[in-house]
Amino acid sequence: MTPGWLVFAAGAGVVVGLCGSRAPRVWLTATVAGAAAALAAALWVLIAGQTWDWRFAVTLGGEALHLRLDGISAFFLALLALVGGLCSIYAHGYWRDEDHPASAPSGRAWWSTVLVSMALVLLSTNGLHFLVAWEAFSVGNYFLITRERHKPEARSAGWLFLVASHAATLCLIVFFAGLAARTGSWELGPMQYRSELAPWFWLALLGFGIKAGFFPLHIWLPSAHANAPTHVSALLSGVSIKMGIYGLVRFSGWMPAPDGAGWVIAAAGAASAVLGVAFALGQHDLKRLLAYHSVENIGIILIGLGFAMVAAAHEEYAWGRLAMAGSLLHVWNHALFKALLFMGAGAVLHSTGTREMSRLGGLWRAMPWTAALFLLGAVAISGLPPLNGFVSEFLVYLGLFGAVSAHTSGSWTAAPAAILLCITGALALACFAKAFGVVFLGLPRSDAVARAHEHASAMRVPMLLLGLACVAIGLVPAAVWALLAHAIATWQPGWTETAPPASVVALSEFHVGVAVFAGLGVWALRRRVVRNGLTRAPTWDCAYARPTARMQYTPGSFAAIITAWFGWILHQRRRVVRPAGPFPTHASFEEHTPDTVLDQVVRPGGVLVMRAAGAARRLQHGRIQAYVLYVLIGVAGLAILAVTGGAR
Amino acid sequence: MKFATSSIHVCASIGIWLLLAPLLPGVINKVKAWIAGRTGPPVLQLYFDLARLWRKQIVLSTAVSPAHVAGPAVAFVALVGASLLLPLGRAGAPIAFEGDAVLFVYLLALARFATATAALDTGSAFEGMGAAREVSFAVLAEAAIITALLVLGVQTGSVSLTRMLAPAAGAGTMLLAAGLYMVLLAENCRMPFDDPNTHLELTMIHEVMVLDHSGPPLAVILHGAALKLLIFCVLLTEAVVPLGGLSPLVVVATLGGAVLLTAVGVGVVESMQARLPFRRVPMLLTTAFLLCLFALMIAWKRNPL
């Protein structure tokens, strides 16, 4: 067996799944087997440190089919295979034929299509094939997002996704066509030496940036993630948006980057990180909240990538390598804990029927597994030791501190980036204390919680595996270093060093110590409490005798201090009916945080375009006389041009 | 052999930190009592309280999950972990590596997450209020701390607390000290940010988060709070005083004296100042952040490496 055969087996598995999508078990078995084969191939390439290259005799669209699995594509393929495979298992339990007889079978077909086309995006080395696979993946995603198309909000989310995706595809078509015109071939590969290609990178940044969803190109992301079925949200957030990051990593490595591209990417990353989490704090819908955290985490990834590009331009190997390692590792980490969190949110939605956090509460009793795993994901995404989220942020910090210490021109920008990254971490902590506390702790806020129950193992097993992966990367980050090192060496051919830095090894030991002692501490304290004896009593509400669950802090009130700080961009809408008179009968409070970029920039822009188009449409009215007039005016104009221009 | 010495170093450090920590709140209370003309509780009061609480029975709310007891334990372990990264004297910190400064900040964050989660667990409006304030104000405090660490990083070219804290903070020392002192007051819930002695739950931050804790978990929380105060006092002292080149005896005397002085200062501030209204707290914390930021600019200008 070689990676080539494994990739072939993976493709065969997923295609069998695609053909057998009518039969759920056949589909699941074939897809998971295919994902396992793809994972094995990717890990093989990453561990062996080699590149697998396969040219076919077949031509597609006049271009010879050429697939390549190198360090970077293997790094992303491993992610696609692992998270995609686990999400497939979850989908099997979450979107069953019994509940969704119409949409489940076609959903499985689109799911397989998306998996195959994402793998092709990663493997193809031909611009034309890349575009075809990219388009198939975007369209497939559209059909996955609109599984519940009887709901108007799902339709509008799908529409927005489709428009944004096509804006991205348009940029990429121009980008690839431009490259093909300049280089004379659709073949893609290293072209750093052709410095005249540098300006084309901006188009790639725009196209891949829309897919990755960094601020302010994230407009499609919150509604698509919130309204898609949860297994789709997990795949979208874990893997699909990473295709945008793949594109950026790939072409920042292959192409000569224009001056300042690193700074722009890092600045966009810092803005996404802080504003993404600020918008997340304003949300009351659990899935929308998680969606905005994708914007935040893409920001963290881009801070690392941006500074790595700066380092590459200045040939600063030492800290550039750390920033890049942090960025790439965060790509994996974010996929692991975000898929875990979405699956947890899906389990909550499935059993309570609501995503509205202010109607939930106290779910840990009915769903202890989901609660524990969601807590694990929350700690990981807040970037707290000893889990994986901290490891990648730690590496990014090391890169930034290294840039500050290096004291080269412009490296002062790493200081504000480090401060903003720290603020992001603190805000994410606040947001996940809120999300976990409001949904799983305290008392039930509505009857929706009464129906809650734990789920079938098809939904629990993938969550458990994702949680284990988070713990494993957190405790032994040195073990994944070799894989990272190969991906980095592929990105910048000079940056080869396989031994993990001493600080990662030390951090690994420290994490194990913290985990062991935290466990021991909890055990000892529990033992002591039980031995001393305990009494149960109602919560002490400062001597108030009849507390109710409605008196608990709500998600809005928990985040109120911070959302007020970000009021300049959040523009929250509130509808308040104050209690009036000596015997008030009715009072209500409603709060809503719309997406500012979408509502105040894109929509007015769209309205403007429509108005201009409407005005232009008046020229087309079907009266022949007027058309003759147009022709005459045109001819007259041409005649004038010919006479005046012909004089020269 | 190396493993044995380093584990002895770790155990000794943990012992020193845990034994000395409860002394500080006692000192502060004594100072406050003196200024108010009272006798006040003995300096060792917290030790007695901890011993008594550790033996006590516990009343648990009917609403709480296992996270309510686990939270304080995790927070305590995180704080002990953070204390191990700070150097005590010439031997340096028991655990030191490049990047431990970042780990230090995030261990404090882990402690905060555990405390806030345990507070939200009770479903009480008051505890939700306290947790919300704690995590919100910490955003600004954390920004100030990372800026202070960047100052030290620029000066020493290192990201390890042992090396960063050996020399003094250079030209911006006073700015940095003022900024860190404000962060110390805020993070340890002292006046003018929070009132540790108030009887009105509506106006509290830290104390209101632990309303429903009792017995051994409360002992762990109080001990952890004292440890956090000591950690910040030591961090402030070492950032300001160049302890790196001194002889061991002088180091111990200076460190002890400076930490005591800081505690006395906290007591004096607490006796002289009223608590700020909550809407003013962010402004004061922003001031702390700006002080650290100016220190960073000075450090950047003074260190053309």
Burial of A57 (0-12, 13-18, 19+ CB in 10 A): exposed
CA atoms within 13 A on the CB side of B296: 28
| Closest of A303, A463, A475, A307 to residue A389, by C-alpha | A475
pLDDT for A31 equals: 92
Q: Is residue B61 within 8 Å of A540, Cβ to Cβ?
A: yes
A419 to B117: CB separation less than 8 angstroms, yes or no: no
Min Cα separation B40/chain A (Å): 27
Strand, helix or coil at A279?
helix
Chain B residues whose CB is inside 8 A of the A514 CB are: 77-78, 81, 107
Chain B residues whose CB is inside 8 A of the A398 CB are: 98-99, 102, 159
A384 to B133: CB separation less than 8 angstroms, yes or no: no
Q: Is residue A561 within 8 Å of A444, Cβ to Cβ?
A: no
Of A258, A290, A323, the residue that ends a domain is: A258
Cβ–Cβ contacts within 10 Å for residue A15, how many? Answer: 16
| Residue the block writes with tokens 């700070």 | B86
- CA-to-CA dists, residue B168 to B87, B156, B177, angstroms: 14, 10, 11
Residue A647 counted as domain residue: no
Cβ–Cβ contacts within 10 Å for residue B167, how many? Answer: 17
Question: Looking at this protein, which amino acid is placed at residue A406?
Answer: A
A437 to B121: CB separation less than 8 angstroms, yes or no: yes
C-beta contacts of B251-256 below 8 A and 24+ residues apart: B251/B89, B251/B90, B252/B89, B255/B88, B255/B89
Chain B residues whose CB is inside 8 A of the A379 CB are: 110, 113
Of A258, A276, A310, the residue that ends a domain is: A258
Do A362 and A436 lie in one domain? The reply is yes
Which of A374, A394, A419 to substitute to test the interface with B, most B CBs within 10 Å?
A419
Alpha-carbon gap, residue A365 to A348, rounded angstroms: 12
| Closest of A248, A266, A399 to residue A323, by C-alpha | A399
| Closest of B303, B16, B297, B17 to residue B167, by C-alpha | B303
Which of A397, A411, A423, A427 to substitute to test the interface with B, most B CBs within 10 Å?
A397
Q: Where are the domains of chain B?
A: 24-56+64-302
pLDDT for A1 equals: 56
The domain in which residue A448 lies consists of 262-526+554-576+588-594
Do A99 and A153 lie in one domain? The reply is yes
Strand, helix or coil at B99?
coil
Alpha-carbon gap, residue B25 to B86, rounded angstroms: 20
Alpha-carbon gap, residue A246 to A281, rounded angstroms: 28
Task: Choose among A433, A534, A549: nearest Cβ to B113.
Answer: A433
- CA-to-CA dists, residue B152 to A414, B160, B171, angstroms: 15, 10, 11
Residue A363 counted as domain residue: yes
B109 contact A CB<8A? yes
Q: In angstroms, what is the C-alpha Rg of chain A?
A: 27
pLDDT in tens, B212-241: 888 899 999 999 999 999 999 999 988 888
Residue A538 counted as domain residue: no
Task: Choose among B101, B117, B143: nearest Cβ to A423.
Answer: B143
Of A231, A258, A285, the residue that ends a domain is: A258
Burial of A378 (0-12, 13-18, 19+ CB in 10 A): buried
Do A130 and A104 lie in one domain? The reply is yes
Strand, helix or coil at A421?
helix
Residue A543 counted as domain residue: no
Q: Give the tokens for residue A102.
A: 């119409």
ipTM value: 0.94
pLDDT for A89 equals: 93
Do A482 and A382 lie in one domain? The reply is yes
| Closest of B262, B153, B256 to residue A405, by C-alpha | B153
B297 contact A CB<8A? no
Helix, strand, coil content of chain B in percent (nearest 5):
70, 0, 25
Do A225 and A277 lie in one domain? The reply is no
Alpha-carbon gap, residue A293 to A277, rounded angstroms: 6
Strand, helix or coil at B212?
coil
pLDDT in tens, B145-184: 999 999 998 888 888 888 888 877 677 888 999 999 999 9
Strand, helix or coil at B199?
coil
Chain B residues whose CB is inside 8 A of the A449 CB are: none
Q: Give the tokens for residue A634.
A: 């045109």
Q: Is residue A363 within 8 Å of A448, Cβ to Cβ?
A: no
Residue A64 counted as domain residue: yes
> Nearest-CA residue of chain A relative to B201?
A542
Q: Is residue A427 within 8 Å of A278, Cβ to Cβ?
A: yes
Do A224 and A276 lie in one domain? The reply is no
Greatest CA separation for chain B: 61
Chain A residues whose CB is inside 8 A of the B155 CB are: none
Task: Choose among B74, B98, B159: nearest Cβ to A518.
Answer: B74
Do A339 and A323 lie in one domain? The reply is yes
Domain count, chain A: 3
| Closest of A144, A8, A162, A164 to residue A88, by C-alpha | A144
Alpha-carbon gap, residue A427 to A107, rounded angstroms: 36
B103 to A379: CB separation less than 8 angstroms, yes or no: no
Residues whose CB falls within 8 Å of the CB of residue A185, separated by 6 or more in sequence, listed in order:
none
Which of B84, B120, B156, B283 to substitute to test the interface with A, most A CBs within 10 Å?
B120
The values of phi and psi at residue A37, to 5°, are -65, -40
pLDDT for B304 equals: 60
B70 to A441: CB separation less than 8 angstroms, yes or no: no
Beta pairing, strands A588-592 & A63-69? unpaired
Do A345 and A203 lie in one domain? The reply is no
The values of phi and psi at residue B15, to 5°, are -60, -50
| Residue the block writes with tokens 């949200």 | A233
A532 to B216: CB separation less than 8 angstroms, yes or no: yes
B57 to A533: CB separation less than 8 angstroms, yes or no: yes
Beta pairing, strands A573-577 & A534-537? unpaired
* Mean pLDDT, contiguous 10-residue spans, chain A (648 residues): 79 84 88 92 88 85 87 93 94 88 88 93 92 94 92 92 94 93 88 86 94 90 92 93 94 88 93 94 92 94 94 87 94 95 93 89 90 95 92 94 82 90 95 93 86 83 94 91 90 83 90 93 92 84 74 88 90 89 88 87 91 90 89 94 74
Q: Give the tokens for residue B50.
A: 């901890």
Q: In angstroms, what is the C-alpha Rg of chain B?
A: 19
| Residue the block writes with tokens 């040219």 | A55
Do A374 and A231 lie in one domain? The reply is no
- CA-to-CA dists, residue A622 to A271, A611, A613, A618, angstroms: 50, 20, 17, 10
A441 to B72: CB separation less than 8 angstroms, yes or no: no
| Residue ranges of B 264-283 with Cβ closer than 8 A to chain A | 282
Residue by residue, pLDDT tens for chain B (305 residues) are: 677 888 888 888 899 899 999 999 999 999 999 999 998 899 999 999 999 999 999 988 888 889 999 999 999 999 999 999 998 877 778 888 889 999 999 999 999 999 999 999 988 888 888 899 999 999 999 999 999 999 998 888 888 888 888 877 677 888 999 999 999 999 988 888 887 777 666 777 888 888 888 889 999 999 999 999 999 999 998 888 887 777 778 888 888 999 999 999 999 998 888 888 888 889 999 999 999 999 999 888 876 65
Residue A542 counted as domain residue: no
DSSP secondary-structure letter at B165? Answer: S
Do A197 and A324 lie in one domain? The reply is no
Residues whose CB falls within 8 Å of the CB of residue B134, separated by 6 or more in sequence, listed in order:
B112, B115, B116, B205, B206, B209
Q: E strand or H helix at B272, and its extent? A: helix B248-272
Partnered with residue A282 across adjacent β-strands are: none
| Closest of A301, A131, A157, A314 to residue A223, by C-alpha | A157
A385 to B65: CB separation less than 8 angstroms, yes or no: no
Q: Is residue B250 within 8 Å of B209, Cβ to Cβ?
A: no
Bond prior to A444 in cis (omega within 30° of 0): no
Do A149 and A297 lie in one domain? The reply is no
A521 to B305: CB separation less than 8 angstroms, yes or no: no
Q: Provide the Cα torsion A483, A487, A493, A495; round to 10°.
A: -60
Min Cα separation A561/chain B (Å): 7
Beta pairing, strands A52-60 & B58-61? unpaired
Task: Choose among A432, A506, A513: nearest Cβ to B97.
Answer: A506
pLDDT for B169 equals: 63
Min Cα separation A20/chain B (Å): 44
Do A361 and A224 lie in one domain? The reply is no
